[in-house]
Structures are given as structure tokens and as C-alpha cells.
Amino acid sequence: MKDPPAGILQGDLQDQKIAGYQSHLGVTRTQSVTFHGVQVQSGFTFDQVEVAYQTLGTLSPRRDNAILVCHALSGTAHVAGLHPETGRPGWWDFHVGPGKAIDTDKFFVVCSNVLGGCDGTTGPLSTCPETGKPYGMDFPLVTVRDMVEVQAKLIEHLGISQLFAVIGGSMGGMQALTWAVHFPERVRVCVPIATCVSHNAMQIAFNEIGRRAIMTDPNSNSGKYTSDRRPNRGLAVARMVGHVTYLSEYAMARKFGRALQPPVNPAAADEALFAVESYLHHQGESFVSRFDPSSFIYLTKALDQFDLFGGKPPDEVLRRAQARFLVISFASDWLYPPAQSRELVRLLKRARVAATYINLETLYGHDSFLIENPEFANVVRHYLGNEYRNADFKEAGAAI
Amino acid sequence: MLDLGTGDGAFLERLVRARHVTAEGVEKDPDLVARCIQRGLVVHQGNIAEGLDQYGDQTFDCVLLLGTFQELISPVEIVREAFRVGRQVIIAYSNFAHYGVRLQVLFRGRTPVTKSLPQVWYRTANLHFLSILDFREFCRQLGVSVIRQDCFNAHGKAVILPNVFAAEVVTLLESYIRKLNQT
């Protein structure tokens, strides 16, 4: 495995400030749209669902260049550019922008906050119209399929009948896969990254540790907490565990090693001695300031219950897909290990779906798609570029 | 078509563009897989020595083993897998009984280094050294028949005494065991 070139930032853009970071997109804004009468798989019907979303680039006259970017567990609609209030770059600013892997000069990029999230789309924090109070734990269980159904409404609202591509990592990859099998005629290219067709016991176990940390926080009050007494400590612990699973041993050794955190006081049992401890505390606190504990519970539940095939034979489900696939995994990802992506590819190929697969040797674990990553960016840029050109040729050919 | 050990995809791209075949490649090196993606090819990162489990039976008309055959630890298993996923198999190999090789061994007493076998013994990726007669025997053992064989050397096609004058061989194979089962 190769070391990354010097000067590459080792970290994602969500919870760390990068001094002097500049986005090529400048300030980008999030918009909102409301849909009425939205039924979810559990049977519950929302009177209204608000969806926060961002669009970047320009929709072509033929409306054939739209790419839906699906975010992961802790992501938001703010995919790239600088946030108008906080000034922070979007979570995928490394890879979405002019000339980047997902080129906003070429493509019309849409990213929306998922149903059950806490960044503007209806979720447990939203006010229930019947009680006038936040839903909290009365929010219905939502699934990845529900998230995708809401995205489909948004895409229709934007006047797009077919997406050129759906792309996402981790939970975003599950959404991309769901799009390809439930709206086969609306997706040309599907790019699931570091994801799986269903969680294994280890993935469920880590999520349950997070959920237990929140539910056993004295402030949680079985989920009926108020905004001034939130189970923040539980959420911070959940994020600490989660964050470790997103990294790799190499990433942590390189970033922290056994470096000490000043002021060094080896005699104090209740203080962070090592830099890695202090870093995790910071990650936890930073997450609490932007994420809702009940959203964390609902979204991790959706992840654990995700099953692309829903008990049906994989072959039968995947044969429906009309998209061409690019499946990407990372050799150092131990949370969504490459074997899960290989299994997805095996099932796709056995269903005679065109699938390209690459297992990148990026050393930074599950987070490898969120960090600055030239190999990853190259693969995505070329794949999308080639597929877009080919689709163009085919259409031109059909017209003649 | 399925191209095993497709490398940077240069050959497969020519094939796809010139012959308009639907094809995909398998390559184990992620850097080379990335180059294939750059060329717009469907490619699968995988080690063919671990089998071709991702493909169903008889998915392809033809499976290509062009630069890789002599580098395979167990060619028997891979040729069997190739015939599971494909109807025909094309294999290319270097003929170790070429007269240049024979002369080098005879007069220099050293392991030969030729145009077809350009690396010294400790650096070569080739694990197996075979002649045309050896390959014929290998096919017989596997229940595979040679439908077509083209032999080449520095001057072009080698027609006379290929086991002596051919440096490179390309063969088109079919499994007669499957044919027997079908009839």
C-alpha cells in the first residue's frame, strides 16, 4: 500500500475546521420543499414532509445530467460549497464542485437531507401537527426505502424524469442501491460506495452500542427529552464509538500514535492523557452541536433493518435494475469490509447487470470516501464522464 | 467476452471499439483497474486464482487468457473455471521448445532469455514453461480440443514445424466433455 502524497488533508470536512479551506463553489444555500400526505412503510402517513435540499450546477436542456448524491448517517443536504451562516464547507466539498470528481460544470447535482434526519428534513425534531410538540420517539420508524421515496418526490418536483446517476457512500450507498431496484427506469448509473446489501451482526452491534449510550443517558427519559435537557453525553459517546469504526488502525497510528495531550498529567485518572482521547472528546462534542440524539437512533435503526432484497431471491430483485454499476470499496474499511461489496458485485453479475468493481487501497478506513482522495476522485470522474458520453452516443445513434 | 488479466485494458479497448463486442475484464492490480475505468471498460478487480465465482455458468461466448496463462499457479483450475463461465477459451503462451530456446540451453547452458521470455529466471512472472506438444497433452488431459492454433515468430506466421519454429502460440479451445454431456 502506498502512503498518501504529502499535503493531503487526513480527515473529512464534517467535524474539523481546516484553516484557510477554500471551496470553488463559494457560498451555497439549502432550499426546502413540502410534500403532503406521505405514507411510510410502517403504515404511518405524514400530513406533510419538509425536505431540505441543495442543487449545484445547471440542469441541461435535455434534463439528462442530474446526479443525486445520497448522504451517509451524519451527512446533511449541504453537500458542497460554504455554508452561509457557519462558513463551513459541505461534507463532500472535496469531491463535488467545478472540475472535481462530480463535476458541477457538467452535472446538475442534487443532495437532500434524509427523512428522519435533523438538518431541515422532517425528522424526530420536527413538530408533530397533532400535538404541537416535537415527535421525539413518537416519530414512526423509517426505512432506507422511505428515504428514497421522499427523494423521488423531490426529483419529480425538480422536473427530472430520469437521473443520470445516483451516488452515495455507506448509508448513501444503500439509498443508491434502493433507487436502482425500486426506480429502475429512472437511474442510468448507480455508484454504491463502501456499502452493503444488509448489515452484518458486527455493524448492528456497533449501532446498538451507540443507541444504548443515548438511551441510558440520564437525560434521555426514554426518548421524551426536551431541547434543554438532551441526552448529549450519550450521543457524544455514540459518536466516539462510531468515529473509531470509520477510521483504520493505520489512520489512527499516523494521526496520533501515542502522542500525549497537554497539559500532561499522568497521575490524573479522569483526564485525557493521550491525544487520541482528546480528539474523540472533540468529535463527540462537535457532533452534539449539530446532531439530534433521536435522529441518530432512527437512522441507525433504518441502517440495521435495511435489506435490499427484502427476503426475495437476490437474482429476482437485481434483474429489475437497468442501471450500470460502479461499486467501490476500500481495502482498509473494516466496518463495511470489501467482502460485502464483492458479494454485491457477485449478485449483480450473476443477475447479468453490468458492474465495474474496484477495491481502492486507500488506508483511511470507512472514511476513505469522505477525505481528500485522488485515486477515488479519478475513478469516479472518469467513470461518470465515460458513461455520460456513452449515453449521449446511444441517444444520438437512436435519433439517426 | 471476458478478458482475464486484462492489465491496463489497452487490448480490450481495441477489441471493444473495433469489433463492437460486449466485453469485460478482470484485473487484480487496482492501479490497472483504474486505467481500465479511464478507458470506459467494464472491469472487475479480482484475483483470477481465487476463481470466477462472480460469473454464472456460460455467461460468455469466449474467455481470453492472453498474457497471463503461464503466470497462473494452477492453470488446470482456471481453465476449468473459464469453461464453466464461457463457451470457448482463447489462450496465448510462449513456446519453450522454440529453436532459439533450445540453442541457448544447449550451447550456453543457461536458462534462456528471449524476446518471448524476456526476463531472467529470478525476475520472470512466468511460472510454467511449456512447448506446443506439452500444451496439446494438457488439453487432452482436460478434455479440451484445439479448434484453431496460430503460431508466430519474429518473421510472422510459423507454419513449418511449429514446435521448433514458433515463439508464440494463440489457440482457440472448446471443451468436448461439455459437448458430450450435451448430446
Domains of chain B, by residue range, sit at 47-182
Size of interface A-B (CB pairs under 8 A): 60
Rounded to a whole number, what is the largest CA-CA distance in chain B?
A: 53
Q: How large is the average pLDDT for residues A167-187? A: 98
Q: Which residues of B touch A386 (CB under 8 A)?
A: 37-40
Nearest CA in chain A to B56: A350
Instruction: Name the band, by pLDDT with cuts 50, 70 and 90, for residue A395.
Output: low
Instruction: Name the band, by pLDDT with cuts 50, 70 and 90, for residue A7.
Output: very low
Separation of alpha carbons A373 and A94, rounded Å: 8
pLDDT at A223: 78
Phi, psi of A146, deg, nearest 5? -60, -40
Separation of alpha carbons B30 and B155, rounded Å: 36
Binary contact (A382, B38; C-beta < 8 A): yes
Tell me how close the Cα of B8 comes to any Cα of chain A, in angstroms.
13
Separation of alpha carbons A192 and A365, rounded Å: 16
Cα torsion B105, B109, B111, B116 to 10°: value is -40
The answer, for A17 touching chain B at a CB cutoff of 8 Å, is no
Q: How large is the average pLDDT for residues A242-256? A: 94
Cα torsion A212, A216, A222, A227 to 10°: value is -100
Each residue's pLDDT tens digit, A123-169: 999 999 989 999 999 999 999 999 999 999 999 999 999 999 999 99
Residue A396 has pLDDT above 70, yes or no: no
Binary contact (A378, B54; C-beta < 8 A): no
Amino acid at A277: E
pLDDT at A60: 97
The answer, for B53 touching chain A at a CB cutoff of 8 Å, is yes
Q: How large is the average pLDDT for residues A201-227? A: 93
Amino acid at B163: N
Nearest CA in chain B to A354: B42
Separation of alpha carbons A76 and B35, rounded Å: 33
Q: Which residues of A touch B33 (CB under 8 A)?
A: 358
Which residue in the list A23, A74, A126, A170 is annotated as catalytic?
Answer: A170
Residue A8 has pLDDT above 80, yes or no: no
Each residue's pLDDT tens digit, A93-110: 999 999 999 999 999 999
**Could you tell me if A316 and A183 are in contact, meaning their C-beta atoms sit under 8 angstroms apart?**
no
The answer, for B29 touching chain A at a CB cutoff of 8 Å, is no
Of B41, B45, B54, the CB nearest to A349: B54
Fold for B47-182, please state it: Rossmann fold (3.40.50)
Task: Determine whether A366 is an active site residue.
Answer: yes
Binary contact (A356, B43; C-beta < 8 A): yes
Which residue is associated with the grid cell 421515496?
A149
Prediction ipTM score? 0.92
Instruction: Name the band, by pLDDT with cuts 50, 70 and 90, for residue A6.
Output: very low
- Give the residues across from A391 on adjacent strands: none
Tell me how close the Cα of B156 comes to any Cα of chain A, in angstroms.
37
Please indicate whether residue A395 or residue B3 has the higher confidence score (pLDDT): B3
Task: Identify the segments of chain B with pLDDT beneath 70.
Answer: 178-183
Nearest CA in chain A to B57: A350
Separation of alpha carbons A352 and A346, rounded Å: 10
The per-residue pLDDT of chain A, averaged, comes to 93
Contacts of B51 (CB under 8 A, 6+ apart): B77, B81
Residue A1 has pLDDT above 70, yes or no: no
Instruction: Name the band, by pLDDT with cuts 50, 70 and 90, for residue A264.
Output: confident
pLDDT at A270: 81
Binary contact (B34, A390; C-beta < 8 A): no
Task: Determine whether A161 is an active site residue.
Answer: no
Question: What ranges make up the beta strands (E) of B110-163?
Answer: 144-153, 156-157
Residue A399 has pLDDT above 70, yes or no: no
Q: How large is the average pLDDT for residues A179-187? A: 98
Q: How many CB atoms lie within 10 A of CB B74?
A: 10
Separation of alpha carbons B166 and B163, rounded Å: 6
pLDDT at A397: 42
The answer, for B56 touching chain A at a CB cutoff of 8 Å, is yes
Long-range contacts of residues A217-222, Cβ cutoff 8 Å, at least 24 apart: A217/A293, A220/A293, A222/A137
Nearest CA in chain A to B34: A379
Q: Write the burial class of residue B127 (CB in 10 Å: 0-12 exposed, 13-18 middle, 19+ buried).
A: exposed
Is 0.80 surpassed by the pTM of this model?
yes
Q: Does the domain made of A31-199+307-399 have the CATH classification 3.40.50.1820?
A: yes
Residue A17 has pLDDT above 70, yes or no: no
pLDDT at A3: 53
Binary contact (A355, B44; C-beta < 8 A): yes
Instruction: Name the band, by pLDDT with cuts 50, 70 and 90, for residue A393.
Output: low
Separation of alpha carbons A64 and A25, rounded Å: 22
Nearest CA in chain A to B52: A346
pLDDT at A339: 98
Three cell numbers at B107? Answer: 550451447
The answer, for A344 touching chain B at a CB cutoff of 8 Å, is no
pLDDT at A65: 97
Tell me how close the Cα of B59 comes to any Cα of chain A, in angstroms.
8
Task: Determine whether A157 is an active site residue.
Answer: no
Each residue's pLDDT tens digit, A68-77: 999 999 999 9
Long-range contacts of residues A209-216, Cβ cutoff 8 Å, at least 24 apart: A209/A238, A209/A241, A210/A237, A210/A238, A210/A239, A210/A241, A210/A242, A210/A296, A210/A300, A211/A238, A211/A296, A211/A297, A211/A300, A211/A301, A213/A237, A213/A238, A213/A241, A214/A238, A214/A293, A214/A296, A214/A297, A215/A297
Of A346, A375, A379, the CB nearest to B54: A346
Binary contact (B40, A378; C-beta < 8 A): no
Cα torsion A163, A169, A173, A175 to 10°: value is -70
Residue A175 has pLDDT above 90, yes or no: yes
Binary contact (B30, A375; C-beta < 8 A): yes
Binary contact (A350, B30; C-beta < 8 A): no
Of B42, B55, B59, the CB nearest to A356: B42
